[in-house]
Amino acid sequence: MDLGEHMVKSPSYRRASIGVLASAALVLAGTAASAVGGGTTVGNDAHRYVAKIQGPAGACTGSLVAPLWVITAKNCVPHDANGVPAGATTLTVGRGDLTSTAGRVQQATKVVPRADRDLALVKLSIPVLDLPFLALATTAPATDAPVQVIGYGRTTDTWVPDKASIAPFTVGALGSATFAVTSPSGKDTCKGDAGGPTLLGDKLAGITSTSWQHGCLTVTETRQGGTQARVDDIAAWIRQTIDVVPAGTITGPAGKCIENINARLVNGNPVQYHSCNTTGTQNWVVAASGMIELQNKCIEVVGGNTANGTRIQVAPCTGEPKQNWTAHPDGSYRALGKCLDVANGINANGTPMQLHDCNGSPAQRWTISVGSLQAFGRCLDLPGGYATEANLLQLHDCNGTAAQQWRPGDGRITTAARCMGAAGDQVANGTLIEIFDCGGTPGQRWLPRDDGTILNPPSGRCLDLRFADTSEFAVIQLHDCNASVAQKWTIAV
């Protein structure tokens, strides 16, 4: 494994990188690709947060750290001063075997670089809600600690592998922004591994930055070792960057809300199900890191216990697995492999929240305000803000009003307690899009897709701007999917 294709392509850049490596203190090590001695290939069932990055700079590796964000090496995604990628950059997440169709394929829309190290956060085109993300380490790795490094880079005998690989490393010297790693086999990370994760246990401790590429195909370098960019000391900066999600209620069956009992912000205070109101006890921030926060407290599974019936409480936000909740397309929120659940499916005020096996029941379906749906820089809008039945939707300048706040969840897109759907539940081309009482009918089923389109699965047609009109008050309709700009939408979160 090594820096990344872009770094190796430029001889001058490579010499500079090696010069830095030679003078820098090295620390930590991580699982490397099978290119590294003792490494093994990664399939589609493990480490599903790993991303293959392909763009103007070449091939790199990254990790999904939030539904909208991948972390990688800074030079893997060239960008301008505003963070706009310099060219089309594709990120394939959750596909350890690149010959398969598993996972998601996304486009980079924004790059947020870190000034003091070779690290950047890359924003995806739409949230990835059905794959796990990698938790951040918050303590530095100790010298001699075992770590693992993952990457899609070149191996000892394969130029462009079809599978990601993972291999053991050992942490060396710790620097202010980096740490060194060495492999027990003496083989380094290789071309294409740049930006890949270095795991300390099950958390992200660093990302691959530079190496001597010893042991990589066609490389004759005899010096060994590599440098990883640290993550632990900038975990707060990473969370601040990715946790840009508005506050709102979390509603479940019968339209009731998750509530912090008696507004007590003490550790261990239980969470319950209650009629929705405007108090601060129900105003949650569903952070892109997976945490669900209320006034700087997070909801968590008590004790990290995975038994059915384990209660849910508020506690200081730590980012531990017991606080990491992943949104899924069926409307569920999951932690520790199980679902956030209304105990016994009882809709009464005061019903406690619990962890339970996922079963797709109404007691596990949640909708959360996440923002606007946009195309051409304008927003999907409810004319006049009227949530009346059959009010036709339009495109309008974004204004942040309630008329533009949409909640994707369980396959529906809702606003003001009503759902977006095809008029008359028809599926023909040109059917106008309206809002209706939510009923789960075929015309109300929507699936945001990786290419930016929003599909109505029952009809196989897409949300579309009639006549590709991008002006104020343009009409929204159902139409055959064609991937045109009139069908490209982004969910602003």
pTM listed for this prediction? 0.51
Give the best-scoring range by mean pLDDT among 116-130, 227-241, 401-415, 445-459: 227-241
**How far is the CA of 209 from the CAs of 60, 151, 156, 179, 189, in angstroms?**
11, 12, 19, 10, 9
Same domain, 15 and 160: yes
**Residue 434 and residue 343 share a domain:** no
User: Do residues 205 and 255 both lie within one domain?
Assistant: no
Q: Same domain, yes or no, for 142 and 177?
A: yes
Residue type for position 25: A
Mean pLDDT of the chain: 75
- Amino acid 17: pLDDT: 29
**CATH number of the CATH domain containing 309:** 2.80.10.50
Q: Which of 142, 151, 266, 275 is nearest to 213 (CA)?
A: 151
**DSSP-based three-state secondary structure for 100:** coil
Is residue 397 classed as helix, strand or coil in its secondary structure?
strand
Say yes or no to pLDDT of 386 above 80. Answer: no
Q: Which domain holds residue 361?
A: 247-368
Q: How large is the average pLDDT for residues 143-154?
A: 94
Q: Choose among 360, 386, 372, 397: nearest CA to 492.
A: 372
Confidence of residue 11 (pLDDT cuts 50, 70, 90): very low
Averaged pLDDT, 141-145: 96
Distances (CA, A) of 54 to 60, 92, 359, 408, 428: 7, 9, 37, 29, 38
Whether residue 357 has pLDDT greater than 90: yes
Mean pLDDT (whole number) for 25-33: 26
pLDDT of residue 293: 52
Is residue 132's pLDDT more than 90?
A: no
Q: Which of 208, 240, 272 is the last residue of a domain?
A: 240
- 398, 445: one domain: yes
Q: How confident is the model at residue 493 (pLDDT cuts 50, 70, 90)?
A: very low
Q: What is the pLDDT of residue 114?
A: 94
Q: DSSP letter at 17?
A: H
pLDDT 10s digits, 432-471: 877 666 555 777 777 767 677 878 878 889 888 888 877 6
Q: What are phi and psi of 467, to 5 degrees?
A: 60, 20
Do 81 and 218 reside in the same domain of the chain?
yes
Are 29 and 78 in a shared domain? yes
Selection from 223, 81, 205, 87 nearest residue 142 by Cα: 205
CB contact at 8 A, 196 and 151: yes
Query: What integer pLDDT is reported at residue 427 of this predicted model?
Result: 80
Rounded CA separation 174/180 (Å): 7
**pLDDT, tens digit, 9 for 90 and up, residues 299-325:** 788 889 999 999 887 667 676 788 777
43 close to 234: Cβ distance less than 8 angstroms: no
Does 354 have pLDDT greater than 70?
yes
Both 196 and 256 in one domain: the answer is: no
pLDDT of amino acid 61: 96
What's the whole-number mean pLDDT along residues 169-174? Answer: 96
**Residue 375's pLDDT band (boundaries 50, 70, 90)?**
low
Q: Does 335 lie in the same domain as 407?
A: no
- Strand locations in 183-294, DSSP E? 197-200, 203-211, 226-230, 247-248, 250-251, 257-260, 271-274, 284-286, 292-294
354 or 88, higher pLDDT = 88
The pLDDT score that the predictor gives to residue 470 is 72
Q: Are residues 309 and 382 in the same domain?
A: no
Q: Which of 368, 386, 405 marks a domain boundary? A: 368
For residues 87 and 203, membership in a common domain is answered with yes
Residues 58 and 43 in one domain: yes
Domain boundary among 240, 267, 301: 240
E-only strand ranges, 394-440:
394-397, 407-409, 412-415, 418-422, 433-437
Is the pLDDT confidence value at 215 over 90? Answer: no
Count the domains in the chain.
Answer: 3
What region does 66 belong to: left with phi over 0, alpha with psi -120 to 50, or beta?
beta
Give me the CATH number covering residue 187.
2.40.10.10
Whether the predicted pLDDT of 89 surpasses 90: yes
Note whether 230 and 272 are within 8 A (CB): no
Terminal CA-to-CA distance of the chain, rounded, Å? 35
DSSP 18-54: HHHHHHS---------TTSTT-EEE-SSS-TTEEEEE
Q: Are 474 and 489 a contacting pair, CB within 8 Å? A: no
